[in-house]
């Protein structure tokens, strides 16, 4: 069964600092990769997704992620964070050919951006 | 932007009682999902639903759980005889169509507390 791991449970940083959140998955087949964000009191929102093509994916709010197939990784980055980026970030994977395309989530990383 | 809506936002129920969690997926979406997140743990897949039948379910989704699409808009999760360990946040999600390149859209969740 596939699994997803996120390396950091909590990250604290100051505004304008750069952010990188690690995500690794265990499945060796063809996967779809996602990053979701959950702002306090809100629902999970899609930040970006990778299905095929350019492994560097750009999402909303200045976020990007790079798929490195050889490392089974899909790390999320933002060059300069803002206070409003305080949220919990979830990496998720689905199998390309699975009937229901269920998502398998990582444990999430809580990011606190200090003003 | 269309949203997935869930009701109630918080449900408190006595152990052994039946509970129904309700979801209204985005109107032109065809695939529906339930996930749950126990406090401090990962978001876990429960079940996926397409064309009026379950397409995939997890080990968690045992005989006490059922899903239904009673009309053209609602998608419900029923827990027949609740246990303390069913206390969690339950998320509904929907996806537009076939193919892995359609992301899932999530509702705000229902916090279920079993006493």
**Tens digit of pLDDT at every position of chain B (115 positions):** 779 999 999 999 999 999 999 999 999 899 999 999 998 888 999 999 998 999 999 999 999 999 999 887 899 999 999 999 999 999 999 998 766 578 899 999 999 999 9
pLDDT of residue A17: 97
| Residue A91 vs residue A99, higher pLDDT | A91
pLDDT of residue A47: 96
Do residues B79 and B59 touch, judged by C-beta distance below 8 A? no
Q: Pick the residue from chain B with its C-alpha nearest to A31.
A: B100
- Do the Cβ atoms of B42 and A106 come within 8 Å? yes
| A98 has a pLDDT exceeding 90 | no
Q: How far does A108 lie from chain B, in Å, by closest CA? A: 7
Q: Where are any strands of DSSP class E within B1-115?
A: 5-7, 10-13, 19-24, 31-37, 43-50, 53-57, 65-68, 75-79, 88-95, 105-106, 110-114
Residues of chain A with pLDDT > 90, as a percent, come to 75
pLDDT of residue B102: 81
pLDDT of residue B86: 97
Phi, psi for residue A60 in degrees, rounded to 5: -80, 165
- Do the Cβ atoms of A104 and B45 come within 8 Å? yes
- Do the Cβ atoms of B104 and A108 come within 8 Å? no
In chain B, which residues have their Cβ closer than 8 Å to the Cβ of A110? none
Do residues B11 and B19 touch, judged by C-beta distance below 8 A? yes
pLDDT tens digits, residue range A31-78?
Answer: 899 999 999 888 889 999 998 899 999 999 999 999 999 999 999 999
| Window 54-83 of B, Cβ < 8 Å to A | 55-56, 58
Question: How do strand B110-114 and strand B10-13 relate by DSSP bridges?
Answer: parallel
pLDDT of residue A41: 81
Q: Which two tokens stand for residue B87?
A: 């206390």
Q: Nearest to residue A115, comparing CAs of A83, A76, A81? A: A83
Q: Pick the residue from chain B with its C-alpha nearest to A35.
A: B103
| A28 has a pLDDT exceeding 90 | no
Query: By the CB < 8 Å criterion, does B100 face chain A?
Result: yes
Burial class of B51 by CB neighbour count within 10 A (0 to 12, 13 to 18, 19+): exposed
pLDDT of residue B74: 94
The C-alpha atoms of residue B88 and residue B37 are separated, in whole angstroms, by 5
pLDDT of residue A55: 94
Mean residue pLDDT of chain A comes to 92
Q: Pick the residue from chain A with its C-alpha nearest to B50.
A: A100
- Do the Cβ atoms of A102 and B48 come within 8 Å? yes
Which DSSP category does A30 fall into? -
For residue A64, what are the β-bridge partners? A58, A77
The C-alpha atoms of residue A115 and residue B3 are separated, in whole angstroms, by 31
- Do the Cβ atoms of B105 and A49 come within 8 Å? no
pLDDT of residue A66: 96
Q: B113 preceded by cis ω (within 30°)?
A: no
pLDDT of residue A99: 62
Indicate the Cα dihedral angle A90, B69, B2, A38, nearest 10°: -20
pLDDT of residue B15: 97
**Helix, strand or coil, per DSSP, at residue B101:** coil
Reported confidence tier of residue A95, pLDDT bands at 50, 70, 90: confident
pLDDT of residue B34: 98
- Do the Cβ atoms of B106 and A104 come within 8 Å? no
């Amino acid at each position: 069964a596939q699994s997803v791991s996120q390396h950091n449970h909590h990250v604290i940083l100051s505004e304008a600092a750069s952010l990188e959140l690690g995500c690794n998955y265990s499945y060796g087949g063809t996967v779809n990769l996602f990053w979701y964000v959950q702002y306090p009191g809100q629902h999970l929102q899609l930040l970006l997704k990778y299905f095929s093509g350019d492994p560097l994916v750009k999402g909303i709010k200045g976020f990007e992620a790079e798929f490195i197939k050889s490392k089974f990784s899909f790390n999320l980055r933002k060059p300069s964070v803002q206070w409003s980026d305080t949220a919990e970030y979830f990496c998720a994977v689905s199998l390309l050919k699975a009937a229901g395309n269920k998502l398998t989530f990582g444990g999430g990383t809580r990011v606190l951006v200090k003003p | 932007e269309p949203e997935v809506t869930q009701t109630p936002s918080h449900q408190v129920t006595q152990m052994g009682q039946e509970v129904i969690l309700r979801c209204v997926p985005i109107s032109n979406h065809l695939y529906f999902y339930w996930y749950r997140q126990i406090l401090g743990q990962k978001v876990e897949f429960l079940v996926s639903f397409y064309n009026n039948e379950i397409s995939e379910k997890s080990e968690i989704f045992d005989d006490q759980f059922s899903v239904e699409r009673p009309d053209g808009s609602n998608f419900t999760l029923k827990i027949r005889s609740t246990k303390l360990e069913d206390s969690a946040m339950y998320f509904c999600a929907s996806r537009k169509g076939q193919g892995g390149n359609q992301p899932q859209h999530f509702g705000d969740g229902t916090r279920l507390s079993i006493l």
